Amino acid sequence: MHPSKRIAAIALAGGFALLLAACSSTGGKRVSEPAASIQQLTVDARGNWQVQLRLQNYSSMATRFDTIDLALEVNGQPAGHLKASPALSIPGESGDLTTINHVPDGTGRLVVADALASGQGINYTLKGDVQVTPEGNKQRSYTIDGKNQLGPVPGLPGVLR
């Protein structure tokens, strides 16, 4: 290849690299709807629950999870409300856990006890509101409406994940 063509090709490649760099994201802030799911449910000797709730921040910036109020159903039966004010700041596009001590409704308590005794899993639904404050923004409210499953953990009695 002729030296002048080689220099032109290198310059053209460098120009494309600069154009690509200029067009790439420069850290624009994006606020997205958060999510909540149960990471682990542990039943104590009295039948009360310790719920590890996974809070997922899909925004590109840190977001503080201010309040949580979620109705919980297990296998279609009401199990009460998970309420908390964790004031937990989660970095952008990350998740974290908050633990909620919960005294379940009677039918929910029985459903989970039966599932654990028989080694079966459960289906659960979370419905309600989460109040969050994205970094540098005002507080926002989002509605959560999610379904998922938990199964017994071998070797850990009273634990569903």
The predicted structure's pLDDT at residue 7: 64
The CA–CA distances, whole Å, from 139 to 62, 67, 69 equal 13, 11, 15
Using an 8 Å Cβ cutoff, are 150 and 124 in contact? Answer: yes
Prediction pTM value: 0.82
Answer yes or no: is pLDDT of 109 > 60: yes
Going along the chain from its start, the domains and CATH numbers come out as 35-160 (2.60.40.1820)
- If one compares 119 and 16, the residue with the highest pLDDT of the two is 119
Answer yes or no: is pLDDT of 18 > 70: no
Rounded-to-integer distance, Cα 66 and Cα 88, Å: 7
Task: Name the band, by pLDDT with cuts 50, 70 and 90, for residue 23.
Answer: very low
